[in-house]
């Protein structure tokens, strides 16, 4: 099968690798090179780097609606377009180009978590199961008919980084199975129930701010979901303090208010909306990640102070 692959981030790289071993990749479309780092040098997307290592043609339109890009992908003669975390919305006339359609790999069990950040939102919400959906694309955002879905358990110890990698690996399995079904003419089209749809909007830095009135489990899930970006943080004496690792703490402090520090030393124990959170790894403003014990050797965070 001849495939135009459209993707951009690390998540898509193993999928491109898997497809290249079984199908003909006629070209790879990815986002344009962007400034990165303090020097603002132009950086390739992870997918572009990998595509070049395979000597695949790379297309990088600023806008997919550009006539020149549409002409190029039409002339490729691809049987199908495979899209994963590409970063631009495809108009309906592009979706109609390949004879077998455009299919998308989405990192949730649709119709749950349509949108840009489904994996993070699943962890944030304390879900125990997530998964991959392969679907035909239509003009809506993640609204197309589904071909197949596969589940993935979320363990209490899972953070975004390892869920990301597990989901990418599962995607490789799913896309090969879906393409085999399409080639054999056995692929199903299961419409989504729009009444059951939920949304996973793009994350912002503000999503990382801790609301100490929330439950301990909600804050732990926030830390798990937002590592490495945007990171979970609070403030002490006007300075940002990022929280990178934390756990439940059994001590009771019924008289404390949410955000109040009740212990310091080997860790920080902070009152939440329903209990106590033990913070074991932090990062001060302008500093590096370190154990809370090491941080507190250089800067005191007083018992009785309220973080916020």
Residue 40 has what pLDDT? 66
Residue 251 has what pLDDT? 84
User: In the predicted model, is pLDDT for residue 41 greater than 80?
Assistant: no
Residue 34 has what pLDDT? 87
Q: How far apart are the first and last CA of the chain?
A: 55
Mean pLDDT across the stretch 22-43?
88
Helix then strand then coil, in percent of the chain rounded to 5, is: 30, 30, 45
Residue 35 has what pLDDT? 84
Q: What is the pLDDT of residues 199-228, one digit of tens each?
A: 999 999 999 999 999 999 999 999 999 999
Q: What average pLDDT does the structure give for the chain?
A: 96
Which residues, in sequence order, are CB contacts of 202 under 8 Å at separation 6+? 115, 116, 117
pTM of the model: 0.94
DSSP class of residue 198 equals -
Comparing CA positions, the residue from 40, 44, 56 lying closest to residue 10 is 44
d(Cα 190, Cα 147) in Å, to the nearest integer? Answer: 6
Residue 65 has what pLDDT? 95
Structure tokens, 113: 């978590």
Measured in residues, the chain has a length of: 308
d(Cα 43, Cα 135) in Å, to the nearest integer? Answer: 31
User: In the predicted model, is pLDDT for residue 39 greater than 70?
Assistant: no
């Amino acid at each position: 099968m001849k495939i135009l692959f459209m993707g951009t981030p690390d998540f898509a790289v193993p999928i491109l690798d898997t497809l290249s071993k079984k199908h003909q990749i006629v070209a790879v479309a990815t986002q344009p090179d962007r400034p990165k780092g303090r020097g603002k040098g132009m950086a390739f997307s992870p997918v572009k780097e990998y595509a070049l290592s395979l000597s695949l043609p790379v297309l990088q339109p600023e806008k997919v609606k550009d006539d020149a890009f549409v002409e190029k992908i039409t002339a490729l003669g691809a049987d199908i377009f495979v899209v994963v975390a590409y970063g631009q919305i495809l108009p309906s006339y592009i979706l109609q180009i390949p004879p077998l359609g455009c299919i998308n790999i989405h990192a949730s069990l649709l119709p749950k978590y349509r949108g840009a950040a489904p994996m993070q939102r699943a962890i944030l919400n304390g879900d125990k199961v997530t998964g991959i959906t392969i679907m035909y694309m239509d003009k809506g955002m993640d609204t197309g008919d589904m071909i197949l879905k596969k589940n993935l358990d979320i363990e209490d110890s899972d953070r975004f980084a390892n869920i990301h990698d597990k989901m990418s690996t599962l995607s490789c399995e799913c896309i090969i199975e879906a393409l085999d079904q399409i080639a054999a003419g056995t692929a199903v089209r299961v419409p989504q129930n729009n009444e059951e749809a939920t949304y996973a909007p793009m994350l912002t830095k503000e999503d990382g701010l801790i609301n100490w009135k929330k439950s301990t489990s909600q804050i732990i899930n926030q830390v798990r979901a937002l590592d490495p970006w945007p990171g979970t943080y609070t403030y002490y004496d006007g300075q940002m303090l990022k929280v990178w690792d934390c756990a439940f703490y059994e001590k009771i402090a019924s008289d404390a208010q949410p955000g109040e520090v009740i212990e310091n030393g080997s860790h920080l124990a902070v009152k939440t909306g329903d209990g106590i959170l033990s913070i074991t790894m932090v990062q001060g403003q302008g500093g590096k990640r370190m154990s809370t014990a090491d941080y507190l050797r250089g800067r005191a965070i007083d018992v009785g102070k309220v973080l916020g």
